[in-house]
Amino acid sequence: MVSSCKKVFISFMAAILLLTLSPITSFKTEASSIGESIITYGKKFMGVKYVFGGTTPSGFDCSGFVQYIFKNAAGISLPRTTDEQYKVGTAVAKSDLQPGDLIFYANTYKPGISHVGVYAGGNMVLNATSSQGIDLVSMNHSYWGPKYAGAKRVIQEKTPNWFTDVAKSASTYTAIKTLSDQKVITGFNDYTFRPDDKVTRGQAAAIINRILNLQPKVTSPFADVPVSNAFAHDIAAMREAGIISGFDDNTFRPNDEMTRNEMALIIQRAFNLSVPQTSAAGAIFTDVSSSHWAYDGILSLSSIDKTGLFTGNMFNGSQNATREAFTVAIYNAMNAK
């Protein structure tokens, strides 16, 4: 009984993890999530030793740590020293603190403002301490509490109206915006789209089925796709429609990353793309022969491309498909004439 319950719990947690990591997360979120993403990133360095003047993961001082995590987690540039950081942002009352607010302390190793941490929520501060290194410290700590000198908010409260990692001038902007608006492949809670992240076979099935909305007759046909899998319904639908098949060992391998060759083939199947009758109708890639198993799909994908993403001398089909490439390929297929 204990073993059975444990298996159910593990399956449930795996499903939750897939939902968290998959690209179906809604782009709309509270502004405070920027601060939460900074805290989540900062916690990766828990225990890193304190080094006076340190600005890297090999050792941080307080302001070096704050500057590092704001820049790398949210693209926010802060001054280098504590007293300079104290001059930026908007003052925040102690009763109104939000994750990501800068917490300043006075009269630590010198008179006046001399130390900074980041409010982590729950009355805790992510703090570069000389004794414990990067640590979570209570606002009521016997040493730090009495030295509290104020807080500043440097995170813009206005929610960004576009992904921070996709330029509006990019040739792929229209494709990404269109499919994001339609909730086909959306962004993440830190206001990023992550165009270079790879697409798994399970994610590909879910993304395509958000457009086709196919209903499978059998919910879980593969040994490695239980009904609790977040993508089980979509994977079954793709299999029955002949769009994405499984392997000879009765597995689907939903967490395997999809290659560009596979992407071209399944998108041709999903949208019934016609194959150009002449080589002039589509780009000819030096690394793709006419006998290649994905040749028709690759040629179709290239011939309908409106962004220039699938042009050039090489297709690089063995490389894994990125979220940007997959989005553009689907956008082109949806608009093919």
In the block, residue with structure tokens 């994001």: 180
How far CA 215 is from CA of 83, 154, 212, 223, 310, in Å, comes to: 60, 48, 9, 20, 31
Q: Is residue 159 included in any domain, yes or no?
A: no
Tell me what the mean pLDDT of segment 87-102 comes to.
Answer: 95
Q: Is 204 found in the same domain as 328?
A: yes
Backbone phi, then psi, for 200, in 5-degree steps?
Answer: -85, 165
| pLDDT tens track for 182-233 | 999 989 877 899 999 999 999 999 999 999 999 999 888 899 999 999 999 9
Q: Is 179 found in the same domain as 130?
A: no
Q: Is 233 found in the same domain as 106?
A: no
- Of 94, 118, 153, which one is at a domain's C-terminal end? 153
Q: Is 214 found in the same domain as 117?
A: no
pLDDT of residue 158: 60
**Which has more pLDDT, 17 or 83?**
83
Q: Is 233 found in the same domain as 322?
A: yes
CATH number, domain of 143, equals: 3.90.1720.10
Q: Is a pLDDT exceeding 50 seen at residue 26?
A: no
Q: What is the dihedral of CA 118, 124, 130, 131, to 10 degrees?
A: -160
Q: Is 229 found in the same domain as 143?
A: no
Q: Is residue 110 included in any domain, yes or no?
A: yes
CA dist., res. 102 & res. 299, Å (int): 53
Q: Is residue 284 included in any domain, yes or no?
A: yes
Q: Is 36 found in the same domain as 126?
A: yes
Token pair recorded at residue 124: 């805790």
pLDDT of residue 312: 87
| pLDDT tens track for 277-328 | 755 434 579 999 989 999 999 999 999 998 999 988 999 999 999 999 999 9
Domain that holds residue 198: 173-334
How far CA 116 is from CA of 54, 65, 148, 149, in Å, comes to: 14, 9, 10, 10
CA dist., res. 66 & res. 43, Å (int): 12
Q: What is the DSSP letter of 288?
A: -
pLDDT grade, residue 5 (50/70/90)?
very low
Q: Is residue 264 included in any domain, yes or no?
A: yes
Q: Is 253 found in the same domain as 178?
A: yes
In a 3-state reduction of DSSP, which class is residue 238? helix
Q: Is a pLDDT exceeding 80 seen at residue 175?
A: yes
Specify which residues 55 forms β-bridges with: 60
- Of 153, 183, 213, which one is at a domain's C-terminal end? 153
- Which residues have C-beta within 8 Å of that of residue 181, sequence separation ≥ 6? none
At position 92, the amino acid (one-letter code) is V
Q: Is residue 38 included in any domain, yes or no?
A: yes
Number of structural domains found in the chain: 2
Q: Is a pLDDT exceeding 60 seen at residue 337?
A: yes
Q: Is 224 found in the same domain as 136?
A: no
- Which residues have C-beta within 8 Å of that of residue 154, sequence separation ≥ 6? 70, 76, 78, 88, 89, 90, 100, 102
Share of the chain above pLDDT 90, in %: 78
pLDDT grade, residue 239 (50/70/90)?
very high
**Do 229 and 18 contact (CB within 8 A), yes or no?**
yes
pLDDT of residue 283: 52
Q: Is 124 found in the same domain as 51?
A: yes
Q: Is 221 found in the same domain as 90?
A: no
Token pair recorded at residue 242: 């002949």
| pLDDT tens track for 243-266 | 999 999 999 999 999 999 999 999
Mean model confidence pLDDT for the chain: 88
pLDDT of residue 335: 93
Q: Is residue 17 included in any domain, yes or no?
A: no
In a 3-state reduction of DSSP, which class is residue 43? helix
Q: Is residue 143 included in any domain, yes or no?
A: yes
CA dist., res. 7 & res. 266, Å (int): 33
Length of the chain equals: 337
Whole-structure pTM value: 0.57
| pLDDT tens track for 39-72 | 999 999 999 999 999 999 999 999 999 999 999 9
Q: Is 249 found in the same domain as 326?
A: yes
In a 3-state reduction of DSSP, which class is residue 22? coil
CA dist., res. 312 & res. 216, Å (int): 38
Q: Is a pLDDT exceeding 70 seen at residue 157?
A: no
- Burial of 232 from C-beta contacts in 10 A (0-12 / 13-18 / 19+): buried
| pLDDT tens track for 103-123 | 999 999 999 999 999 999 999
Tell me what the mean pLDDT of segment 3-9 comes to.
Answer: 43
pLDDT of residue 164: 86
pLDDT of residue 28: 37
Cβ atoms < 10 Å from Cβ of 168 = 9
pLDDT of residue 114: 97
CA dist., res. 140 & res. 144, Å (int): 7
Q: Is a pLDDT exceeding 90 seen at residue 7?
A: no
Q: Is residue 147 included in any domain, yes or no?
A: yes
Q: How far is CA 4 from the centre of its chain?
A: 33
- Which residues have C-beta within 8 Å of that of residue 54, sequence separation ≥ 6? 60, 61, 64, 65
